[in-house]
Amino acid sequence: MRLNGPWLFRTFLYPVLVLVVPAPCSGCGDTLGPRQLLGYCPGCWDSIQPDRYNPHHPYQCAATRYAGLARTVLLEAKFRDRPELFRPMGLRMAAACRTAGLDRGFELVAAVPSHPLTLFRRGYNPARELARVVAGDLGLPLAGRALRRKVLHMAPLKKASREDRRLAARSAFTARHGAFQGKRVLLIDDVLTTGSTFRGCRSALLDAGASAVRLLVWGRTPAASSGGRWPERHL
């Protein structure tokens, strides 16, 4: 979590300020009411399309279809320094998890780690911010930084084959043995695209002794909808 001036302003002062000074909705421009502290009016939040739980993909769950305002909200939170948006997003993810019946049986929540250099530049990991809200809402502990992205891991070249990309994603992550031993892990990320990041993290977690890993994301891209089933060791 970054602790600079803009972050402190948006997180603590902005919510107080808009109680006094009416602010426009970031989505439609309507004036926000005094209790609508999060930059979007209820109408805009409601316009975000939920993702339909797909029983053919039982190991992943998305709160939204990654398009329109669902995409805008994430991009604002990630790249325009709007960390206050992670809370309503995380609460929607927890609700989607309950709706899909995936909230039972987990013992630990973990976040897909950012690359250390990205974390250094941005100051926070969006997946971890979402994971903190989800863990709090589901009443589960949040894993520390025991799941890591390797610093010196080379990203696959643009022309790399599908298989090379899959192998690269598999070796990009490492999980500390002991932290996940015997645990059913709910893994959190912001967007699901090809699923290669999830499979990489999942391999690392299973290698570290996790008994099951499932994925909960804010948004699922159309590319993710055609992915295959991923077998679990147990669950």
Binding residues (CB under 5 A) for Zn ion: these are: 25, 27-28, 41, 44
Quote the CA–CA distance of 126 and 197 in Å, as a whole number: 15
| Closest distance to Zn ion from the beta carbon of 31 (Å) | 10
Compare residues 44 and 208 and give the one whose CB is closer to Zn ion: 44
Q: Between 44 and 205, whose beta carbon lies closer to Zn ion?
A: 44
Count Cα neighbours of 6 within 13 Å in the Cβ-side half-sphere.
7
Q: Which is nearer to Zn ion, 8 or 28 (CB)?
A: 28
Q: Spell out where the chain has E strands.
A: 60-65, 108-111, 147-149, 173-175, 184-192, 212-220
Query: Minimum distance between the CB of residue 183 and Zn ion, rounded to whole angstroms?
Result: 40
Q: How far is the CB of 49 from Zn ion (least distance, A)?
A: 15
Nearest approach, Cβ of residue 38 and Zn ion (Å): 11
In the complex with Zn ion, which residue's Cβ is closer, 25 or 96?
Answer: 25
Kindly state the smallest distance separating residue 91's Cβ from Zn ion, in Å. Answer: 18
In b/e form, how buried is each residue of 39-55, taking b as 16+ CB within 10 angstroms?
Answer: bbbeebbeebeebebee
Nearby residues of 78 by Cβ (< 8 Å), 6 or more positions away: 122, 126, 190
Contacts of 162 (CB under 8 A, 6+ apart): none
In 3D space, the residue among 165, 175, 152, 174 whose CA is nearest the CA of residue 195 turns out to be: 165
Run of H or E residues at 204: helix 196-207
For Zn ion, the closer CB: 46 or 163: 46
